[in-house]
């Protein structure tokens, strides 16, 4: 088991560097999902025959 002082000593920058790509990917995924949902919710255009 780690001591609390060991955890505090961990460089915060390292954690941020690991987290940043994940956050970016998650943001992109959310944007894709939102555009997909708006696409679904739009009523289909009436067919002109």
pLDDT tens digit sequence for 1-49 = 666 666 666 666 677 777 788 888 899 999 999 888 888 877 777 777 7
How big is the CA angle at 38 (ends 49 and 19), to the nearest 5 degrees?
A: 150
- Phi and psi for 10 in degrees, rounded to 5? -60, 135
Q: How much is the pLDDT for 19?
A: 77
Give the chain's length.
Answer: 49
DSSP 10: S
What SS3 state is found at 29? helix
Q: For the whole model, what pTM was predicted?
A: 0.44
């Amino acid at each position: 088991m780690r001591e609390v002082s060991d955890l505090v000593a961990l460089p915060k920058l390292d954690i941020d560097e690991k987290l940043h790509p994940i956050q970016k990917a998650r943001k992109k995924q959310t944007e894709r999902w939102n555009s997909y949902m708006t696409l679904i919710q739009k009523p289909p255009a009436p067919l002109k025959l």
